[in-house]
Amino acid sequence: MEVIHRSSLARVCAGKVAGEEVDTPMALSQVGSAPGLSISDGSAELLWGEVRVPLGPKLRPPISSGRTTPPAIHDGGIAVTRLPLAKDLGALDGAELIVVENAFELRREPAMMAEALGSLRRRAGSRPLIYVPGLAEPSNLALLCYMGVDVYDEGLLRAMASRGLMLRPEGVLASDAAPQELEGMNIEEMAEERELVRAFIASGRLRELVDQRAASSPANAVALRVFDARCYGVAEEQTPVTGGMFRCNTPQSLHRPDVERHRRRMNDRYSAPAHKKVAVLLPCSARKPYHASRSHRRFIEAIRSGPHFSLVHEIILTSPLGLVPRELETFYPAAQYDIPVSGRWSAEEVEMVNGMLRHHLAANEYDHVVSHVGDGGQLTAGIDLIDSSGGDPGSDASLSELDSVLRGLCADYGPVPAQQDRLGTVRSMIGYQFGRGVESLLDNATVSGKYPYWKIMDGKEQIAMHTPDRGMASLTLEGGARLLRAGVNVVSCEDFQIKGSIFAVGVKDADPAIRIGDEVVVEQNGRPAATGVAQACGRDMRDLDRGAAVKVRHKAR
């Protein structure tokens, strides 16, 4: 199976089973043909090509017993496992399909379902498909795929129809229709939901559909909350650092892995430019990036009206991201998110923004903090600052006050040269993108051009370029050589002539910190051979033997 599209752990894969073309998410029917199920006299067999795999008798130890069972390995790379998962899953290495035999028990245990599926995908890696018998219905298919499930069956659809229940993505409804009619309706509804899920995966926006579907039942809501809280690592690993526009219309959107990653990188990677003495807190805008909006053009005009602007650090306060320094506004996800604005902040949003702000101010040495947010102080409660907004940050009077306050606060400081200001700002951007410890990328560097089109140069040699299209620094070969010396985002390849994209089969090793969309350097025999954009996370580059690994931008002659 080859991955065609991916959205976090969910993927659309295509391949063949015993010569028959199949794709995922895959529905196994109960018509007795492969791939599918054969059910008779209360027993079930999985038909996978020429392989017939018994799915076990009804009477087996339940999950609640706590008894673990080693995976059973069958022909064709099919592994059958039970929950709770055994400590040693080494037998799953090389498996093409993993069947979670007693997955149906998770229907009443949504928290356990989230943890079990997250743990299984983390331990099994990306290679195998995961099949959960008897668990899928229209309301949870998007969620199951989001948690790493690839294959499902019609068992629950048929069982619920026999009880007079009609299944829809929005929930379960009682019906007077005949069971056979209901069965067909449920299967048809599931097929339509499958196609919708595939479309959202292909667009990289499955999480939006998951957020919508989570409201269809308490069980779905619990599973998503637990998955976000306890399986962040496995979901984040497969979440790109670039992407298109997305909507955050529900409270659970605060915990998307790409949003949570931004907040963690702000705390763990990011440092404000050292020469900035005054932090100015600004409200967000509907238009992205912020500097393209009318409100922020007016903020910028007021802040940069005099030579003091190089001393001022602009920080946008926003939900769901928390803090977005001006220099990060073109990075994903700051330039792509959309959120309904009502003028009211939830308690969770206030706590999140306030906590991030306190951490940021404690970690960076500003002499003054100016608030031009105009939120009545709910986002900045207990923080020592100067309010210049007058309750209406966009008014002429408040903008004049902002200009006056900044001029007064900066009067005692000497001017910061433009090149020092640019280089310090780029240093903060590079730290956020690659992590701390990549200062060598900027050795002897200068920054030229007009923001957001900045070139990072060493004399006449270009190191990297920042553009709003990529939203981050894109590396040249010289930049790649510097990244290689820092030992960050390195992909080690076999010794072959690079002509186009590099595929996983040719990768010997890769930095596990690499995420889809990252800038990487390709190394051969200890020397930089190419730079480009990661098409897979570092672990998949190393472990898989199919699919693209790096889309090459520059290569050595």
| Residue 247 φ then ψ, to 5° | -110, 140
d(CA 198, CA 328): 32
Two tokens, residue 247: 């909507």
Q: Would you state the pLDDT for residue 341?
A: 79
Q: If we measure between CA atoms, which residue out of 208, 182, 106 comes closest to residue 149? A: 106
Alpha-carbon torsion (172, 177, 179, 181), positive or negative:
negative
Segment 450-471, tens digit of pLDDT: 989 999 999 999 999 999 999 9
Q: Would you state the pLDDT for residue 94?
A: 84
Distance of alpha carbon 223 from the chain centroid: 18
Q: If we measure between CA atoms, which residue out of 396, 358, 398, 365 comes closest to residue 379? A: 358
- Residue 306's pLDDT band (cuts 50, 70, 90): confident
Q: What is the DSSP letter of 418?
A: H
Q: If we measure between CA atoms, which residue out of 475, 479, 488, 486 comes closest to residue 532? A: 475
Which DSSP string corresponds to 331-364? Answer: STTTTTEE----S---HHHHHHHHHHHHHHHHHS
Segment 403-461, tens digit of pLDDT: 999 999 999 999 899 999 999 999 999 999 999 888 889 999 999 999 899 999 999 99
Query: By the 8 A CB rule, do 35 and 99 touch?
Result: no
Average pLDDT over residues 250-267: 96
Two tokens, residue 154: 């019609």
Measure the N-to-C terminal CA separation of the chain; round to a whole number of Å: 34
Q: Which residue has the tokens 């009443």?
A: 108
| Mean of pLDDT over the chain | 93
Question: Range with the lowest mean pLDDT among 320-324, 379-383, 486-490?
Answer: 379-383
Q: Which helix (H) or strand (E) holds 394?
A: none
- Residue 57's pLDDT band (cuts 50, 70, 90): low
Segment 321-350, tens digit of pLDDT: 999 999 999 999 999 999 987 778 899 999
Q: Would you state the pLDDT for residue 59?
A: 65
Average pLDDT over residues 219-224: 97
Q: If we measure between CA atoms, which residue out of 469, 427, 426 comes closest to residue 289? A: 469
The SS3 assignment for 387 reads strand
Q: Would you state the pLDDT for residue 418?
A: 93
* H, E, C per residue of 228-287: HHHCHHHHHHCCCCCCCCEECCCHHHHHCHHHHHHHHHHHHCCCCCCCCCEEEEEECCCC
pLDDT reading at 18 higher than 80: no
Higher-scoring residue by pLDDT: 491, 65: 491
d(CA 495, CA 143): 42
Q: If we measure between CA atoms, which residue out of 4, 17, 25 comes closest to residue 192? A: 25
Q: Would you state the pLDDT for residue 410?
A: 95
d(CA 398, CA 544): 57
Q: Would you state the pLDDT for residue 132?
A: 96
- Residue 58's pLDDT band (cuts 50, 70, 90): low
Q: If we measure between CA atoms, which residue out of 133, 186, 138, 126 comes closest to residue 162? A: 186
All domains of the chain, ordered by start, with CATH? 2-237 (3.20.20.105), 263-410 (3.40.50.10630), 421-555 (2.30.130.10)
pTM check: above 0.75:
yes
Which DSSP string corresponds to 141-155? Answer: HHHHHHTT--EEESH
The SS3 assignment for 557 reads coil
Two tokens, residue 160: 């619920």
What's the longest Cα–Cα distance across the chain?
87
Higher-scoring residue by pLDDT: 221, 55: 221
Segment 113-159, tens digit of pLDDT: 999 999 999 999 999 999 999 999 999 999 999 999 999 999 999 99
Query: By the 8 A CB rule, do 124 and 71 touch?
Result: no
How open is the CA angle 211-213-217, to the nearest 5 degrees? 115
Segment 165-186, tens digit of pLDDT: 999 999 999 999 999 999 999 9
Helices (H) and strands (E) in the chain, counts: 14, 31
